Structures are given as structure tokens and as C-alpha cells.
Amino acid sequence: MVILGLTGSIGMGKSAAARAFRRLGVPIHDADKAVHALLAEGGQAVTAIGEAFPGVVRDGAVDRQALARRVFDDDEALARLEALLHPLVRRAEQQFLKAARAHGRPLVVLDIPLLFETGGENRCDAVAVVSAPAFVQAQRVLKRPGMTRERLQSILARQMPDAEKRRRADFVIPTGLGLDFSLRAIREIVRVTRTWNTTGRRPSR
């Protein structure tokens, strides 16, 4: 089974790329959705986060906006949060991979926003990065509620530069040239990576 990491900076179109992989029949493990499940009512991380960040749990679930305000621009608080969440997200990922292998899936995708920043590429056979010109990225992100240029710059400062991600990636999915162009790139990635199960040809990581 080939494990493909999917990543990209904020506003690059990673969610749309993940949907395209799903439509092509590729199982996806979405790290962000795993986090949301952990923070929802009954989620495994609710109690621990409530103890670490008093006041962020409301009606049995973590108020993600309140939590975001607590850790934004606070490296120590962010590190404490990540120490709580990352092991649980990894456990969910491992369960996903175990199930995919049991079902004989030839290709799966791990959708991880901070893949390179957390060393996640070491768990993958290859990595695909979604990328668009900086002005397109800014246009997309600034349409989001509550987003400002200052907040965008602060987020980007915590992420690896797009150029470095593209340099490290095995595949680049351009998302600034129209949907058809992106879909062609994704179809080709699926075609190539699925053949690795029979040819054994994979990039050395």
C-alpha cells in the first residue's frame, strides 16, 4: 500500500484537492477532522484540554475559537496543546492505515496541514503539495470571516514557506490555474503512485 502525504499552506486549496482524491476512490485521513472529533462533545481530548486551558470547554465540547485565542501567538501554550493532541491524532491515523491495509487499498492519502513542519513526511512514501501564487493565496484567505492581513502573516510565519514545501515534495498540485488543471495533476499522481505497488518504484525518502 502506498501512503501519500498531502499538504500545503493556508489558502492553497488542499481541501479541494482532498475532495478530488476522494472522488477518484482514494481513502483520505484528514488530520483536521480528527482534531475536530477529539474536541467535540464526548471527544477523547476534551477533559485534558479543559484541565490545561480552563474555561475553553462549554457544554461538554471544546470551544475551538476560545482555544485558538488562548494559543495564538503563545508558543508555550501551543506546544502544550500539540503535546495533548498529536498522540491522539497519530493513533487515529494508525487505525485508518490498519483498516486500509486490511481492505487491500493500493493507495491512501494522509491529509496533514503541517506535514513537513512536524516530520510527517517520514511516515509517507511520497508527498504532494498544493500550491498557488501568493496573491491568489492571499485573496482566498482574506475572504474568510475575521481574517486580516496581519493575522495571515502571523499564520504564514508559523508555516514552512511554500517554495521550500515545493522543493521537498515529490509532486506539486497547482491550484491557481483552474480546476481542470489541478484535476489533471491529481489524476496523474493517482495513476503513478498506484503503479508503485507492482513496480516497486518509489522515491527514496
What are the pLDDT digits (tens) for 117-173?
A: 999 999 999 999 999 999 999 999 999 988 899 889 888 888 899 999 999 999 999
| DSSP assignments along 22-56, one per residue | HHTT--EEEHHHHHHHHHSTT-TTHHHHHHHSTT-
Dihedral of CA atoms 164, 167, 169, 174 in degrees, nearest 10, equals 90
Beta carbons of 148 and 158 less than 8 angstroms apart: no
| pLDDT tens-digit readout, 154-170 | 888 888 999 999 999 99
Cell matching residue 51: 484541565
Q: What gap in Å lies between CA 5 and CA 182, rounded to an integer?
A: 17
| pLDDT tens-digit readout, 8-35 | 999 999 999 999 999 999 999 999 999 9
Q: What gap in Å lies between CA 36 and CA 151, rounded to an integer?
A: 22
Residue 71 has pLDDT above 60, yes or no: yes
Model confidence at 205, pLDDT cuts 50, 70, 90, reads low
What is the residue-averaged pLDDT of the chain?
92
Alpha carbons within 13 angstroms on the beta-carbon side of residue 19 total 6
What single letter denotes the amino acid at residue 33?
K
Alpha carbons within 13 angstroms on the beta-carbon side of residue 31 total 21
Residue 200 has pLDDT above 80, yes or no: no
Alpha carbons within 13 angstroms on the beta-carbon side of residue 145 total 1
Beta carbons of 72 and 64 less than 8 angstroms apart: no
pTM summary value: 0.88
Task: Map out the domains of the chain with their CATH numbers.
Answer: 1-27+108-197 (3.40.50.300), 32-104 (3.40.50.300)
Residue 202 has pLDDT above 70, yes or no: no
**What is the percent of the chain with per-residue pLDDT over 90, rounded to a whole number?**
78
pLDDT at position 57, please? 94
